[in-house]
């Protein structure tokens, strides 16, 4: 199923139509309760035979698909080609940093650029659906609500202002630097091997293109690794890493400018459009 929030209401996206969840009478339709009511949403999705009577999805009205998460984890250098362009060694265990939850916004929010060195990083984002600790890799799918498209926007000035001691978390935590959307897609709608085309464009020019099959540490490994070190809660997000093609790795370096349109697409999930503005 595909779950979205439009004009403050939770709904299902079915064949390009928005089915208001609250209209069924069994759901509140409140974004704050989306994971509490997840199983009922699934039942509603399974019951829909024809969505043609419902209104088309208004993408301009789409909001953050759920409440703000308690925890937002970022994973660095999780594609070999990105580690190479960053001139860094491949990690032996997942390289994890925290993003501020307040960096997370929905697909319609403009992003204010706070410096001249803000970079793009297309990422598959894992959405946790259950309160969990110590999850085995083979059990990881049972605690995942679904997946969405994300951008781990990175202020390289802030990230490297401490020199060799990189401030990964702070460089990626400004308001709006974690846009996600346009909706959450459950695993049953995606290939079993989760091999998904991923990439992004800036003003129509392609900057990144890869496939999530090239993740060094796959999704079950990441969920298990994190759950052994922290308690994961419904709605928590894992930004799983970005492939090569970031602006910082280019020669000369390239960064976002006010007025840019950043489009990030993951096959089987959808496209997240992010518009940048000046302070």
Residue 169, H or E segment: helix 168-171
* C-alpha dihedral (156, 62, 223, 124), degrees to nearest 10: -50
Mean pLDDT within 54-75: 97
Q: How far, in Å, CA of 279 to CA of 87, rounded?
A: 32
Using one digit for the tens of pLDDT, what is the confidence trace for 71-100?
A: 999 999 999 877 777 776 888 999 999 999
What is the architecture of the domain spanning 72-277? Alpha-Beta Complex (3.90)
- Residue 162: how many other CB atoms lie within 10 Å: 11
Using one digit for the tens of pLDDT, what is the confidence trace for 37-47?
A: 999 999 999 99
- What was the pLDDT predicted at 137? 98
- What was the pLDDT predicted at 166? 86
Q: Which of 52, 234, 51, 68 is nearest to 142 (CA)?
A: 234
- What was the pLDDT predicted at 83? 72
- What was the pLDDT predicted at 90? 84
Q: How far, in Å, CA of 224 to CA of 229, rounded?
A: 9
- What was the pLDDT predicted at 84? 78
Using one digit for the tens of pLDDT, what is the confidence trace for 8-25?
A: 999 999 999 999 999 888
- What was the pLDDT predicted at 22? 94
Q: What's the half-sphere exposure (Cβ side, CA atoms, 13 Å) at 239?
A: 37
| Residue 162, helix vs strand vs coil | coil
* pTM over cut 0.85: yes
Mean pLDDT within 50-65: 96
- What was the pLDDT predicted at 231? 98
Please tell me which residue, 24 or 236, carries the higher pLDDT value.
236
- What was the pLDDT predicted at 162? 83
Q: Which segments of the chain are extended strands (E)?
A: 2-6, 9-14, 17-20, 62-63, 72-76, 95-98, 104-105, 111-112, 118-119, 122-128, 144-151, 154-155, 178-185, 197-202, 205-211, 237-239, 261-266, 270-277
**φ and ψ at residue 187, rounded to 5 degrees:** -60, -30
Domain ranges of the chain: 2-63, 72-277
pLDDT band at 263 (very low <50, low <70, confident <90, very high): very high
Using one digit for the tens of pLDDT, what is the confidence trace for 162-179?
A: 887 889 999 999 999 999
- What was the pLDDT predicted at 207? 98
Using one digit for the tens of pLDDT, what is the confidence trace for 111-141?
A: 999 999 999 999 999 999 999 999 999 999 9
Please tell me which residue, 165 or 103, carries the higher pLDDT value.
103
Q: Which DSSP category does 238 fall into? A: E
């Amino acid at each position: 199923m595909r779950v979205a929030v439009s004009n403050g209401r939770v709904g299902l996206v079915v064949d390009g139509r928005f089915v208001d969840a609250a209209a069924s009478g069994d759901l509140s339709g409140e974004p704050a309760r989306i994971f509490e009511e997840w199983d009922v949403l699934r039942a509603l999705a399974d019951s829909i035979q024809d969505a043609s009577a419902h209104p088309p999805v208004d993408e301009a009205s789409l909001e953050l698909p759920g409440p703000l998460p308690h925890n937002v984890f970022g994973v660095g250098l999780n594609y070999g080609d990105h580690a190479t362009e960053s001139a860094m060694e491949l990690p032996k265990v997942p390289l994890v940093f925290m993003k501020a939850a307040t960096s997370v916004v929905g697909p319609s929010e403009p992003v204010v650029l706070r410096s001249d060195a803000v970079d793009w990083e297309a990422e598959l984002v894992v959405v946790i659906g259950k309160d969990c600790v110590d999850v085995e890799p083979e059990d990881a799918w049972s605690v995942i609500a679904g997946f969405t498209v994300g951008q781990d926007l990175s202020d390289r000035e802030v990230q490297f202002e401490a020199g060799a001691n990189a401030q990964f978390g702070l460089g990626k935590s400004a308001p709006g630097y974690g846009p996600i959307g346009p909706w959450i897609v459950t695993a049953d709608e995606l290939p079993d091997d989760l091999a998904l085309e991923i990439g992004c464009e800036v003003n129509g020019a392609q900057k990144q293109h890869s496939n999530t099959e090239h993740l060094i540490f796959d999704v079950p490994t990441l969920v298990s690794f994190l759950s052994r070190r922290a308690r994961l809660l419904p709605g928590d997000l894992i930004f799983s890493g970005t492939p090569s093609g970031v602006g910082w790795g280019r020669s000369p370096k390239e960064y976002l400018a006010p007025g840019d349109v950043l489009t990030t697409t993951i096959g089987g999930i959808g496209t997240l459009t992010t518009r940048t503005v000046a302070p």
